[in-house]
Amino acid sequence: MNESEKNPTEKWIAQGRALRKTIKRGAHRALGALDRDPVALLQSTDVGRVQRLVPLKYGRMLASQFAFFRGSAILQAHDLAHTPNTGLMHSICGDAHLMNFGGYGTPERRLVFDLNDFDEVHVGPWEWDLKRLVASLNLAARHLGLAANQGNDAVASAVSSYQLHTARFSTMSTLSQWRTQITLDDVLEASDDDAARAQLSKAMNKAQRRSHEELLPKMGKKIDGRWTMNDAPPALFHVHGDSTLFSHDDDWMRIGHWTDLTKHLFNGYLASVNPDIRALLDRFRMQDLVFKVVGVGSVGTRCLVLLLTDATDAPMMLQIKQANASVLAKYVQGKTPNIKHEGQRVVAGQRLMQATSDRFLGSTTGPSGRHFYVRQLRDMKVSAEVENFNANLLARYGALCGQVLARAHAKSGGFAMQVSAYLGTGSAFAEALVDYANGYADQVSIDYQRFQSACHSGRLVAQSEADFGADLRA
């Protein structure tokens, strides 16, 4: 048997263990290069956004330190670039905070729990995703008013779960890794906490009813035989309508009508999906197109909702969302793939990391060269109601997120064996990340104070939803 035919298992385990000497597990306590201007970094991500909406982004970030953290992924990306890493590089989420995990319906209508936001997906060190998660758990604990040790427990629970499940995936065949799904039914069955089960059951029942048929009457009305979605600025408005928040000199305003914009975007999208999906979409007719403001960090990026209906008047809504360069792009060192289309990057990363993905995923290019990706809008979506968590629920949720991240990394990178050997069976890595999460949450507090000062001084303009709405009414 020649060298290339040998089973590489022993070699991979040895590589993982050897990494402990070059990158000690305790080295992951490092917070990175913190001598930077957080406001300037945040402003660098505003280029290309709808400028009228940028104050709303900052208004949402002002709500709390946790909200600020959600909208400032570029800061942690900058800081992580100056910390030790194992050098095991593959597609990572890039923004794996706890609110970017959740439930959704598969094409077979099963509810699964997985990562659900891939705007920042990029090749990078696996540790960066885990550090984004644990920092968010610590901040969530502080936001909820939990004791310091309870925040530490939530972090340790997430890391220990990642460690345990990475070890499990390291013993599985490649096909088994790729087939593994984490369904909400499985989560419910495994839970022995009555409060957690009650909350999850309620969310699952609500998700089963969260269909486009149920959503459309709340968002629109039928006029002269055609469905039209209601304007509700700043959250929802027609690009070419009276309530638009686009400036007159925006290139989209020169297009003249929503159908012209849609035709350009939709034709490019159709070219990106499989023939069966094109055949399916051919049975729908376009009804309306609106701009939708989403998230915290995404506010101001171009995001559209396209409403279609079939011959029975049953609706389907597609979200067409702008894809800019990942915040990781300029911070990941070493050779990375040459990305030619940011929408394709998002779609490829989502398909690679999720256990099962939306069949309507695709990409397209706008009339001015902007990149977009396309997916279904809010299909059976389940989001964690963190505001209602106690310490026990936060720790359990952290463990679930750690399990999901272990599965996603095993699938996307194929390094489960090396990572498991590096982590070992002890608590050294978990202890390091508990310290990291505490230290980084302290840094977020400092950055948040500087952000608040910039908003109060006028360096940044921030508007709450209420203030924004009052301005529009005036």
Tens digits of residue pLDDT in 133-177: 999 999 999 999 999 999 999 999 999 999 999 999 999 999 999
Using the predicted structure, report yes or no on whether residue 362 has a pLDDT greater than 80: yes
Q: Which amino acid is at 74?
A: I
> Collapsing DSSP states into helix, strand and coil, what is residue 235?
coil
- Residue whose pair of structure tokens reads 């901040």 in the numeric block: 139
Main-chain dihedrals φ then ψ at residue 182, nearest 5 degrees:
-110, 100
Distance separating alpha carbons of residues 217 and 117, to the nearest angstrom = 27
Asked if residue 406 lies in contact with residue 169, where contact means CB atoms within 8 angstroms, the answer is yes
Round the average pLDDT of the chain to a whole number and report it. 92
Asked if residue 200 lies in contact with residue 194, where contact means CB atoms within 8 angstroms, the answer is no
Per-residue pLDDT of 15-45, as tens digits, reads 999 999 999 999 999 999 999 999 999 999 9
Q: Say how many C-beta atoms besides its own lie within 10 A of residue 8's C-beta.
A: 12
Distance separating alpha carbons of residues 425 and 300, to the nearest angstrom = 45
Distance separating alpha carbons of residues 206 and 388, to the nearest angstrom = 16
The token pair at 3 is 């060298």
Per-residue pLDDT of 250-292, as tens digits, reads 999 988 889 999 999 999 999 999 999 999 999 999 999 999 9
> Collapsing DSSP states into helix, strand and coil, what is residue 394?
helix
**CA atoms in the 13 A half-sphere facing the CB of 52:** 18
Distance separating alpha carbons of residues 441 and 131, to the nearest angstrom = 11
Q: What is the mean pLDDT of residues 345-362?
A: 95
Per-residue pLDDT of 436-447, as tens digits, reads 999 999 999 999
Asked if residue 324 lies in contact with residue 303, where contact means CB atoms within 8 angstroms, the answer is no
pLDDT band at 202 (very low <50, low <70, confident <90, very high): confident
Least-confidence region, from 124-138, 191-205, 383-397:
191-205
Predicted local distance difference test score (pLDDT) of residue 139: 98
The token pair at 230 is 């209601």
Instruction: Note the Cα 256 to chain centre separation in Å.
Output: 33
Per-residue pLDDT of 420-472, as tens digits, reads 999 999 999 999 999 999 999 999 999 999 999 999 999 999 998 887 766 66
Identify how many contiguous H helices and E strands the chain contains and give both numbers: 18, 12
Residue 182's closest CA among 400, 394, 414?
Answer: 400
Write the DSSP assignment of 434-445 as a string of letters.
HHHHHHHHHHHH
Distance separating alpha carbons of residues 53 and 463, to the nearest angstrom = 9
Predicted local distance difference test score (pLDDT) of residue 1: 44
Distance separating alpha carbons of residues 441 and 138, to the nearest angstrom = 7
